[in-house]
Structure 1
């Protein structure tokens, strides 16, 4: 079991965070953004940044090459739809995509938006971790929470 701190400050103990989210055991802040038979998209539960979306497989796998052909097709179509909605609905010009196979839970991709305030932490990939930690430690106020929930609602409306 792992103890995870969610963006709302709540802590949960789970074997696999992605399994808990995709199965509905844990409800992400703002709910599911979009869901298919194979994937589940939600606001990142640990970092309160508007439009930061996690796209997680429902099936517990670790590696990209474990996806079936149907899952691969669904993944790329859904990833593309989410990115388009981020740009058109939230005005997000740039996004960092992260997928790693040494995660403590299962296959998922982070779509991390790049906002102007983030450039204070640098312009390269190395700046992302400090940005995420800054958000977790300094952006848990009610005003930012409203912005995050408004972004979730806007993405849901666009994608569903």
Structure 2
């Protein structure tokens, strides 16, 4: 077991955060954005950035090549659907995608929106590293959290039509 501090400041004890989220043991802030047979999408629970979505496999695997043919098709379809909704209802023009195989969680992709305010940290993918702790430390306030919650609701409504 390990302790994870969520964006709302609550600490939780879990073996695998992704398993806890996809199985409903932990409710992500704002709830589930969209769910398929194989994947679960939610607002990132650590960084309060409007539209920062985690797309996690429900099955506990680590690597992209472990996905079945059906899971791969579902993955690309739901990833594309989420991206389209980010653009359509949140006006997000650019997104960074991150996926790593040495994670303590299981297979998941971060969909990190690129906002104008982030350019003060740089213009390339390396600028995302300082943005994350900045939002955790500086944007965990009532006004920003209200915007994040509204974005979750708007995305969920669009994706679950």
TM-score normalised by the shorter chain: which range applies? over 0.9
For residues 89 and 158 of structure 2, the distance between their equivalents in structure 1, rounded to whole angstroms, comes to 7
- For the pair 1:144 / 2:153, whether they are aligned, the reply is no
Structure 2 residue aligned with 1:79: 79
The runs of at least 4 aligned residues of structure 1 exceeding 2 Å deviation read none
Deviation at 1:129, TM superposition (A): 1.2
Structure 1 residue aligned with 2:104: 104
For residues 133 and 126 of structure 1, the distance between their equivalents in structure 2, rounded to whole angstroms, comes to 13
For normalisation by structure 1, the TM-score amounts to 0.99
For normalisation by structure 2, the TM-score amounts to 0.99
In the alignment, structure 1 segments of 5+ residues that lack a partner are: none
Aligned-CA RMSD value: 0.4
For residues 43 and 54 of structure 2, the distance between their equivalents in structure 1, rounded to whole angstroms, comes to 6
For residues 133 and 141 of structure 1, the distance between their equivalents in structure 2, rounded to whole angstroms, comes to 14
Q: How many residues align?
A: 160
In the alignment, structure 2 segments of 5+ residues that lack a partner are: none
For residues 129 and 60 of structure 2, the distance between their equivalents in structure 1, rounded to whole angstroms, comes to 25
Higher mean alpha-carbon deviation, 125-134 vs 53-62, is at 125-134
For residues 86 and 5 of structure 1, the distance between their equivalents in structure 2, rounded to whole angstroms, comes to 26
